């Protein structure tokens, strides 16, 4: 059996970092992901997906991500049940992230024009010299 999800989208708000009673970090993110097709009104449709991140990765996301940042999430789908305030049984679907890649630069670094080695994520891993292109 396989439960694997890969999403690329933008954060709809800043990450919400909290700690469990045992001191384990947990962050909640909400990701806007465009659907690959256009509806009848010729508009793009977007899904808003809840993502849960644990431990050190949660702290890293909370310290480095903000609303509007482009990220790739690799994780698994989790469906959980709970009772709401009126005692009605509800279900929630969320992605439990195993890995998150930062796909763009923070807005305050865009205008600096320098690539810092301390920046983590996918964007910092892409670099090549025009002389390296084989054609």
> Are the beta carbons of 24 and 55 closer than 8 angstroms?
yes
Give the CATH number of the domain where residue 16 resides.
2.40.50.140
**Quick check: is 117 in a domain?**
no
For 95, other C-beta atoms within 10 Å of its C-beta total 21
What is the domain extent for residue 16?
A: 5-107
List, for residues 46-73, the tens digit of each pLDDT value: 999 999 999 999 999 999 999 999 999 9
Q: How many domains does the chain divide into?
A: 1
109 pLDDT band (50/70/90 cuts)? low
Task: Look at residue 114 and tell me whether its pLDDT is greater than 70.
Answer: no
Q: Is 18 left (phi over 0), alpha (psi -120 to 50) or beta?
A: beta
Q: Are strands 5-11 and 25-38 parallel, antiparallel or unpaired?
A: antiparallel
pTM of the model: 0.73
List, for residues 14-36, the tens digit of each pLDDT value: 999 999 999 999 999 999 999 88
Least trusted range by pLDDT, from 73-82, 90-99, 102-111? 102-111
**Quick check: is 118 in a domain?**
no
Please tell me which residue, 103 or 109, carries the higher pLDDT value: 103
């Amino acid at each position: 059996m396989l439960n694997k999800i890969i999403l690329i989208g933008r954060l709809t708000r800043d990450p919400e970092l909290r700690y469990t009673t045992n001191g384990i970090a947990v962050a909640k993110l909400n990701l806007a992901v465009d659907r690959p097709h256009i509806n009848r009104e010729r508009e793009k449709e977007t899904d808003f997906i809840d993502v849960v991140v644990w431990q050190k990765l949660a702290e890293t996301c909370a310290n480095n991500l903000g609303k509007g940042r482009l990220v790739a999430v690799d994780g698994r789908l989790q469906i959980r049940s709970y009772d709401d305030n009126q005692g009605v049984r509800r279900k929630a679907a969320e992605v439990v992230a195993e890995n998150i890649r930062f796909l763009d630069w923070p807005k305050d670094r865009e205008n600096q024009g320098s690539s810092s080695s301390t920046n983590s994520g996918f964007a910092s891993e892409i670099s090549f010299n025009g002389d390296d292109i084989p054609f």
